[in-house]
Amino acid sequence: MKCPICNKGNLKKGKTKEYMCGVFLGDFPAVVCAKCKESFTDSATTKKIEKAAKEKGVWGLSAKTKITMAGNSLAVRIPKKIAEYLHLENSEEVMIYPENNKLIVEASA
């Protein structure tokens, strides 16, 4: 069977290391493309990955947010569930910097 992503590689049985929000969820059985390394899991495995993500509290953490004006600066609203996950408090100081086209907000653990 050919890979549906690159249309070149053959799919082989293997394992995939799953991460969500930088948290390692575990190794899961998958078919992996020999060429582009894209991995595909069946629906039962996808459910297991979802379950692992929920157990680690990272399921559904990513969210859309809007940039707003705050004086001459721009402000990013941090959704409540992410604030709670990172234990962020109002007025807390955080480090903020760009990295590979991403905006990193570093909480002091």
Interface residue list for Zn ion (CB under 5 A): 3, 5-6, 9, 33, 35-36, 38
Q: How far is the CB of 60 from Zn ion (least distance, A)?
A: 28
* Nearest CB to Zn ion, comparing residues 13 and 64: 13
Min dist CB 42 to Zn ion, Å, is 17
What is the nearest approach in angstroms of Zn ion to the Cβ of residue 26?
A: 23
Residue whose CB is less far from Zn ion, 36 or 105: 36
DSSP notation for 48-99: HHHHHHHHTT-TT------EEEETTEEEEPPPHHHHHHTT--TT---EEEEE
Shortest reach from residue 35's CB to Zn ion, in Å:
5
Residue 46's φ and ψ, nearest 5 degrees, are: -60, -40
Closer CB to Zn ion, residue 23 or residue 34? 34
Query: Cβ of 30: how many Cβ atoms within 10 Å?
Result: 21
State which residue, 9 or 82, has the beta carbon closest to Zn ion. Answer: 9
91-109 b/e with 16+ CB inside 10 Å = b? eeeeeeeeeeeeeeeeeee
